Structure 1
Amino acid sequence: MTRTRRRRWPWAVAALLALAMTATGIVIVPILTHVDQGDANQQVGDEEWPLAATATGDDGRTRQIEIIAVEPGGTVDTSALLPGDRFVVSGTGYDPARGIYVAICAIPDDPSLKPGPCLGGVPAQEAVEVEEGTIQFAPSNWINDAWAWRLFGARSYDDRDSGTFTAYLEVPPTADDKVDCRDVACALYTRNDHTAAGDRVQDVYIPLGFAG
């Protein structure tokens, strides 16, 4: 008696469609249901070129960011950065349910407005393959804990409970066709990514100066 070979491809197609729909839901639903949480309420201190900043947002979270030298024990002169300079950004207190961009952006005159334009633009949102443990310095970093977004270049938070992240910045050319940070005040910023672009609660910044 000859056995009839079962056709398995319909089940495979169904599984792929289910996975695609799940990923779409993870991506789209948070954007459609997001409610803005207010302002960051950062107070500018007396120090002209600080290496850290703290802000307690309208959501009650206290966020902190710090610029750290790549070499242990080194220093970063934030008053006179040059293209190609590298530094590490450490942050804590962020809302892990929201993705953020970490980038060098123009400081808006009105803190209720989105920072920008940003040097080098926002991080590319396309699928990339990076070897685990590899450190990549870039003009901007994208932090988002949703696995669907991590398929498109986002990096996860270091620790969800504390909202801690690490970003690796390389200073791009200080002027492009959108902004010239030699003529306008710019800063190292964290701000919500495109999933909550109008929400200013995670806008924390450290002023930067540029030597060329």
Structure 2
Amino acid sequence: MSTMKLRRAAVVVTGMALALGSLAGPALADAGASGPEGQTLTAAKAEIDPAGESIRVTGTGYDLNKGIYLALCVSNGAGQVATPCVGGIDMTGQSHGMYWISSNPPPYGVGIAKPYTDEGNGKGGFDLNLDVKAVDDQGTDCTAAGVQCVIYTRADHTRGGDRSQDVQIPVTWKTGGGDPDPDPDPDPGSGPVASADQTLSVNVTGGALSLSVAGNAVALSAATVGGTATGQMNTATVTDQRGSASGWSLVGQVGDFTGDAGTIPAAQLGWTPAATGDGVTPGGTVQPGTGFGTAAALCTAAAGKGAGTTDCGAGLNLGIPSGAKPGSYSATLTLTLS
């Protein structure tokens, strides 16, 4: 069992400014793909510098009622969720390596999710610059043998099992200029004159089930008495290298928020979990006022699922009681992996 703590998730007196920015400028896409509902996803280029580039990506014909994520992710084949994504989950709206696009997000997503451009007839589009690189610091490597990464859209965490928004554009990585065949065969008709076989063997052992968290502090937005403070918990990464296919569970529990001005009960905290990973299921939404008196599931993997790396996160909502006194409060959110 591994336990990680996010300490001092405080209600502060100033809000968090979130901006996705605006994008403009003409560019014609030279790579594209279509989705199961007729969506079109296009990218200005699909051969990319592995060190990183900003690529113009446009989409048309998406369902205005369904939010999506746009990111660079590892393809797991047709009909399967492309995961993990380079850079992990980002629901803060501050990174251009992943976008949350939605015209009707949950309350905590207002100002964070990028709205569609309304194309009429219930369809929407987008025109964004996506920051793309081949390798991140969480172990995702798009240049590794057997790995195919794709510029990818999928339904957001409010429709985690919906594959109708899955559209993938495969990318390749630049390896330098020059002659594309620097050492051509001078005599294409000549073949090998001898061959020999060698038998290769290897012993494979199981690894560990581990948990890491991208930071140990979360500042919720400022809120008035009787209002709601919002924020995004730091991404929790579960790595299952045991090879046992036995599944796992990641749960969270929080104590009361305390401060010089008094106490806000733990049950006032709610969350909406999200997860990316092979067969990993995010926990259910917990509403403020019915919340963390007991532990709640952040994400779980059933037997036979959850191998490799999974990113789990959650939007946070703290309901401020009408009887609360103004001041600064903090609590400890404990994540437990088993």
TM-score between the two structures when normalised by the length of structure 1: 0.59
- TM superposition shift of 1:123: 2.4
Residue 115 of structure 2 corresponds to residue 156 of structure 1: yes
Matched residue, 1:120? 87
Note if 1:54 corresponds to 2:34. Answer: yes
Larger radius of gyration: 2
Show CA shifts across 1:183-208 (max 9, x none): 11000001011111111111101101
**Alignment-derived partner of residue 143 in structure 2:** 182
* Consecutive unaligned residues in structure 1, runs of 5 or more: 1-49, 69-75, 129-135
Distance in 1 between the 2:134 and 2:73 partners? Answer: 12
3-state SS of paired residue (2:81): coil
Q: CA 1:83 to 1:210, structure 2 compared with 1: closer, same or farther past 3 Å?
A: same
Higher strand proportion: 2
Runs of 4+ in 1 over 6 A off after TM superposition: none
Q: Please say if 1:82 is aligned against 2:50.
A: yes
3-state SS, counterpart of residue 115 of structure 1: coil
Give the 3-state SS of the residue equivalent to 1:191 in structure 2.
Answer: strand
Equivalent-residue separation in structure 1 for 2:108 and 2:165 (angstroms): 19
Q: How many residues align?
A: 141
Deviation at 1:66, TM superposition (A): 0.9
Name 1:205's counterpart in structure 2: 168
Cα distance 1:149–1:97, how it changes in 2: closer, same or farther (>3 A)? farther
User: Which one-letter code corresponds to 2:59 in the other structure?
Assistant: G
- SS in structure 1 at match of 2:48: coil
Instruction: Write the distance in 2 (CA, Å) between the matches of 1:155 and 1:149.
Output: 13
Q: Which residue in 1 is equivalent to 2:76?
A: 108
1:92 aligns with 2:60: yes
Which structure has more RCO (C-alpha within 8 Å, separation ≥ 6)?
1
| Deviation (angstroms), 1:124 | 2.1
Matches within 5 A, 1:12-31: none
Query: Does the Cα contact within 8 Å between 2:134 and 2:142 map onto a contact in 1?
Result: no
Residues 153-204 of structure 1 show CA distances to partners (whole Å, capped at 9, x for unaligned) of 1110011523212222011452443421001100000101111111111110
- Structure 2 CA distance, aligned partners of 1:201 and 1:164? 15
Q: CA deviation at 1:84?
A: 3.2
- Does the CA contact (< 8 Å) of 1:67 and 1:89 recur in 2? yes
Contact map agreement 1:107 1:186 (CA 8 A) in 2: yes
Provide the rounded CA distance (Å) in 2 between the counterparts of 1:154 and 1:66: 20
Cα drift, residue 93 of structure 1: 1.1
* Structure 2 gap segments, 5+ residues each: 1-29, 176-338
The answer to whether structure 1 residue 194 and structure 2 residue 194 are counterparts is: no
Whichever structure has more helix as a proportion of its residues is 1
- 2:61/2:119 contact within 8 Å kept: no
The SS at the match of 1:156 is: coil
Residue 267 of structure 2 corresponds to none
Q: In structure 1, the residue corresponding to 2:143 is in which secondary structure?
A: coil
Name the TM-score, length of structure 2 as normaliser. 0.38
Measure the CA separation in 1 of the matches of 2:139 and 2:164: 24
Letter in 2 for 1:116: T
State the distance in 2 between where 1:149 and 1:98 align.
16
Q: Which whole-Å deviations, capped at 9, do the CAs of 1:27-69 have from their partners, x for residues lacking one?
A: xxxxxxxxxxxxxxxxxxxxxxx611123x2xxx31101113x
Alignment counterpart, residue 141 of structure 1, candidates 96, 99, 118: 99
Going from structure 1 to structure 2, the CA distance change for 1:150 and 1:117 (only over 3 Å counts) comes to: same
